[in-house]
Structure 1
């Protein structure tokens, strides 16, 4: 199985507490996901729900041609105000392991994302990644960077 890797870093002019409160809430993910993906959290959470290791989060998402898909992730690791990891349990990928790291820097927080993913179906999956998936993943993270800058500013 071929795995792919993406690393992004973004400096945000907010406190570590503000960053952690925002990014560790599953309900905020839709705010930084492209609207054309029709991303909806279907888990029964409220604004006070706090992330914990073992948390299961379910979504509906339309990544391609408006076709709806179910996606389930598990929060596998959490170290308060330092990092958390989400891993796909059910969804479109053969592997999805996404680390979110937070570090205080002068004037704000540096957020680093480390994503490892794989596409099923062997050589067909490699072709799909080359022609579609990699570009879509890059587009999602580019959108996210811009959405975060719009909400919180740029450092």
Structure 2
């Protein structure tokens, strides 16, 4: 069997970018069981309610849903178990210092394979206020309308 290369996206958390200001991102490996890897290779996972927490100097991923593997037997995994993340000690210390500050949290942004290894992109995030969300929506709408107008003008439609 040929070795897998490149990057294959499994799941993305679009809601996180809407609900949080992402200040910094980190790539971490995940400690998985065999049936979890097979389920991820089938492209099934959800990051919607997920978050990361620091316990005893290690980072764990909570509430990420990886469904049970259909062909799995008694060796199947629980879908929402706590999963350990693999980061360098310096990165963990830096993240821990930031998370202790008021309002910072760790949210998973993407789950993907890089050269056959499962990785998660963590975002160091600060929660947005309601008016921030409305402002972001208004900016996105205005940008879309200007692009449409430019496109029509380029085509000679007015």
TM score, norm. by length of structure 1? 0.27
More strand as a share of residues: 1
Higher Rg of the two aligned structures: 2
